[in-house]
Amino acid sequence: MPPATKQTPEEQIAELKEQLSLSDQGVSKLAQRCLALEQQLAQLEKHESYDNMSLFRLTLYYDCGLGFSEQDTIPAPVSAYSAANHTVSAVFELPREAKAIRLDPGELPCYVVGMTISDERIHAAPVTALSLDEEKTLFLNVDPQFYAECPERLPAGTKFSVSYTYYPLQLGADDTVFFAMRRGIEQVQDRATAAAAAADEQRALAENFGEQLAGQERRAAHLEEQLAAAIAEKEHFRVSYEAVLSSACWKLTAPLRAFLGRKK
């Protein structure tokens, strides 16, 4: 076997330059790959946030005396909703005098926290929703609404801001909505338990006081109806909760939630 040839300094320098060039190419390819992944993630977030913006876009309805209509509306700009932190903030100006207003936070079932209106004359209350603690509202049906009837008509040119935190349930992109749904189910269970206890108490009073039997029986029947309604409402919330968990959208967004969880 011939002895190994010792490299000259020039050859060693040339070899080191070649290795450095290969290393630079590897780093460049890695940087390009990272940039491509960042762009894909940005496109995914943009698609998730804005492709269906009409479904969760805040819209103001104002009643000039003939009721609400699609003609008397002011949609909030697309930029009012921030998908990054789930906040909505918009400023409206009434073009005409209004006796009542309605705020529709999109078309999807949703979880709304901290609805705030800058004008103290306007007190918005949720319609067909479950009011949780600390200004939290859970809408399990489509077309969620906040209604505000103004004791004094709001003149044309009235300007006010609206802000809240918003989680559309059907997108399933955040676990916060499911904590809200669980809280809602617990609240309905509490109502059912309280209604059952009140019905038992009324039946006991009816047995002890014969002269009040007829009235107490009617009261007990009414409470039993409330109990049945509470049980039915609880079942409805449970079915809705399970439907969201088993939805294709929730399953499809699992990788994104996992990625965002690691990012946090």
Per-residue model confidence (pLDDT) at position 173: 47
Residue 188 lies in a domain: yes
Q: Which of 129, 153, 169 is the last residue of a domain?
A: 169
Among 148, 169, 190, where does a domain finish? 169
**pLDDT score, position 1:** 45
Q: Evaluate whether 176 touches 167 at the Cβ level (below 8 Å).
A: yes
Q: Which domain holds residue 209?
A: 176-263
Q: Please tell me whether residues 200 and 125 are part of one structural domain.
A: no
- pLDDT at residue 214, as a whole number: 72
Note the pLDDT tens digit of each residue in 108-123: 888 899 999 999 889 9
| pLDDT for residue 90 | 95
Query: Domain check: are 164 and 188 in the same one?
Result: no
What is the per-residue pLDDT for 49? 45
| Low-confidence spans in the chain with pLDDT less than 70 | 1-53, 170-182, 185, 189, 206, 209-213, 260-264
Same domain, 141 and 180: no
Residue range 79-110, pLDDT digits in tens: 898 888 889 999 999 999 999 999 999 888 88
* CATH code: domain of residue 104: 2.60.120
Number of structural domains the chain divides into: 2
**Pick from 132, 150, 169: which residue ends a domain?**
169
Has residue 2 been placed in a domain? Answer: no
Residues 90 and 139 placed together within one structural domain of the fold: yes
Per-residue pLDDT at 164: 95
Are 237 and 187 in contact, with CB atoms under 8 Å apart? no
* 18, part of any domain: no
Q: What is the dihedral of CA 234, 237, 242, 245, to 10 degrees?
A: -140
Prediction pTM value? 0.52
